């Protein structure tokens, strides 16, 4: 029997946040239905998924109350759109970092009244959430920190600033020593912007603590992803994607503890040979653009077609946690330098050249025991779309079955994707 699950509502809270309460009131019901269909219909889920289910139930209520309580204590609440924004600094300031990338079709038409239609759905969705007052997380932030990773984002921030204070961090597009120097200056500007909110300076001790907290969170996710690679896997790709999405709005320390609790359970499941799907289930790795909550489209199609997703090379995936920060820094400059070194290892396709990413995909592919790679690109994301050419070539060289998919958040291409994915699964099964 399916468990009792309801995404909670609180119209008084939403009114206080100046939301479009009438329109938003339908959203918890829609999310409840989608969640039941995509997640709760799975059999033999780990018991420790209960916590992550409750994080979704409370996404528009309990978690918002926690964020507003932090704000009332003078702690900064900062929205981000990219894994290049160093959340260790927000943590050092006692603040709350919320990943705001939009993963829903709901607000794309709102955005298209202002923005061109021919840009990435993630940018349109996020912008749409703000201009239509349809996201309580967005309504709760003090300011947002955008970046210059891609053209769609950097030009949208100029418009977003009309609705919410929007700072922009310049991300270099190469990885030379001079690029690193530029980026350290940007990190220092970011630190100064956070310090302005708290009215005091972040010292070395606080930053070290921030680094330790985020390192621990990333290590917990590394442990979880390692267990998930066990063959046969003890957890589904849908649940893994969900956890990696929740990483962007949960309290880091609590999230780390709950991920380890889940890992403990998965270790036992591996020992007891209790996989989430039969050992013969085809294993697929996904690479490419991030899948922000509630973008569960591809994983849902793949797993309902009879395969299992065993790795995400993505910013909502390994790119977020594969690297940690060296902890031997002593002075503030030293710590910031080591922090920057870690962030420069993120291999987003906005960098050129970016061959490290191709190597990283192959490394993760081997570690995950996958039998085929699906490269996922959000529509109009030119950098990932073009980088897929090199990825395809590398897969051909290595004899890895490869398929590239370009999609958006609308349900219109679901049938077509399903047909292609089913054919791909047949191909990898031989």
**Residue ranges in contact with ligand SF4 by CB under 6 A:** 82-84, 120, 122-123, 149-150, 152-153, 289-290, 315, 346, 348, 350, 378, 381, 383-384
Pick the closer one to ligand SF4 by CB: 150 or 184: 150
Helix ranges, 58-203 (H): 62-72, 87-92, 108-112, 121-131, 136-140, 151-160, 177-198
Q: What is the dihedral of CA 366, 372, 373, 379, to 10 degrees?
A: -170
Pick the closer one to ligand SF4 by CB: 85 or 301: 85
Closest C-alpha among 143, 146, 164, 166 to residue 154? 146
CB of 315 to ligand SF4, least distance (A): 3
Chain centre distance of CA 14: 24
Q: What is the largest CA-CA distance in the chain?
A: 63
CA distance 22 to 129: 15
CB of 234 to ligand SF4, least distance (A): 28
What φ, ψ does residue 376 adopt, rounded to 5°? Answer: -105, 125
CB of 147 to ligand SF4, least distance (A): 7
Pick the closer one to ligand SF4 by CB: 89 or 277: 89
CB of 268 to ligand SF4, least distance (A): 34
Pick the closer one to ligand SF4 by CB: 303 or 313: 313
The beta strand positions in 252-302, using DSSP E, are: 283-288
- DSSP assignment string, 143-174: EEEEE-SSHHHHHHHHHHTTTS-EEEEPPPSS
CB of 82 to ligand SF4, least distance (A): 3
CA distance 78 to 90: 8
What φ, ψ does residue 169 adopt, rounded to 5°? Answer: -100, 125
Closest C-alpha among 82, 99, 125 to residue 408? 125
The vertex-214 CA angle with 8 and 152, nearest 5°, equals 70
CB of 51 to ligand SF4, least distance (A): 25
CB of 297 to ligand SF4, least distance (A): 14
CB of 301 to ligand SF4, least distance (A): 19
Pairing relationship of beta strands 308-313 and 402-407 according to DSSP bridges: unpaired
What φ, ψ does residue 125 adopt, rounded to 5°? Answer: -60, -45
Pick the closer one to ligand SF4 by CB: 307 or 405: 405
**4 DSSP 8-state letter:** P
Pick the closer one to ligand SF4 by CB: 110 or 265: 110
Residue with tokens 């999609």: 407
Pick the closer one to ligand SF4 by CB: 240 or 266: 240
Q: How far apart are the first and last CA of the chain?
A: 35
**80 DSSP 8-state letter:** E
CB of 248 to ligand SF4, least distance (A): 10
Pick the closer one to ligand SF4 by CB: 75 or 153: 153
Pick the closer one to ligand SF4 by CB: 19 or 171: 171
- SS3 at position 220: helix
């Amino acid at each position: 029997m399916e468990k009792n699950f309801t995404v909670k509502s609180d119209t008084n809270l939403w009114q206080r946040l100046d939301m479009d309460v009438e329109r938003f009131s339908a959203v918890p019901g829609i999310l409840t239905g989608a969640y039941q269909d995509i997640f709760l219909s799975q059999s033999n889920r780990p018991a420790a998924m209960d916590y992550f289910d409750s994080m979704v139930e409370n996404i528009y209520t309990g978690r918002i109350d926690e964020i507003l309580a932090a704000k009332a204590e003078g702690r900064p609440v900062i929205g981000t759109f990219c894994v290049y924004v160093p959340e260790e600094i927000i943590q050092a300031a006692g603040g709350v970092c919320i990943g705001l990338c939009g993963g829903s079709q709901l607000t794309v038409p709102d955005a298209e009244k202002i923005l061109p239609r021919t840009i990435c759905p993630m940018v349109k969705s996020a912008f749409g959430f703000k201009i239509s007052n349809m996201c309580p997380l967005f309504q709760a932030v003090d300011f947002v920190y955008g970046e210059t990773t891609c053209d769609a984002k950097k030009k949208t921030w100029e418009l977003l600033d009309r609705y919410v204070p929007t700072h922009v961090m310049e991300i270099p597009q190469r990885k030379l020593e001079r690029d690193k120097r530029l980026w350290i200056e940007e990190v220092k500007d970011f630190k100064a912007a956070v310090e302005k909110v708290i009215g005091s300076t972040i010292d070395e001790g606080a930053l070290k603590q921030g680094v330790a907290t985020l390192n621990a969170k990333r290590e917990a996710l590394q442990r979880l992803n390692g267990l998930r690679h066990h063959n046969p896997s003890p957890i589904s790709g849908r649940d893994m994607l969900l956890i990696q999405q929740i990483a962007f709005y949960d309290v880091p320390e609590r999230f780390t503890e709950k991920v380890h609790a889940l890992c403990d359970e998965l270790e036992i499941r591996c020992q007891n040979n209790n996989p989430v799907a039969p050992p013969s289930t085809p294993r697929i790795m996904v690479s490419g653009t991030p899948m922000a909550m509630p973008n569960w489209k591809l994983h849902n199609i793949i797993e309902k077609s009879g395969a299992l997703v065993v790795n995400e090379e993505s910013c909502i995936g390994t790119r977020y946690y594969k690297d940690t920060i060296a902890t031997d820094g002593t002075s503030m400059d030293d710590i910031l330098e080591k922090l920057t070194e870690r962030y420069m290892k993120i291999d987003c396709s906005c960098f050129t050249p970016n061959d490290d990413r191709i190597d990283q995909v192959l490394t993760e592919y081997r570690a995950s025991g996958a039998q085929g790679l699906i490269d996922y690109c959000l529509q109009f994301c030119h950098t990932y779309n073009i980088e897929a050419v090199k990825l395809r070539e590398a897969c051909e060289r290595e004899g890895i079955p490869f398929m590239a998919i370009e999609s958006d958040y609308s349900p219109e291409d679901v049938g077509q994707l399903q047909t292609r994915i089913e054919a791909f699964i047949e191909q990898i099964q031989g």
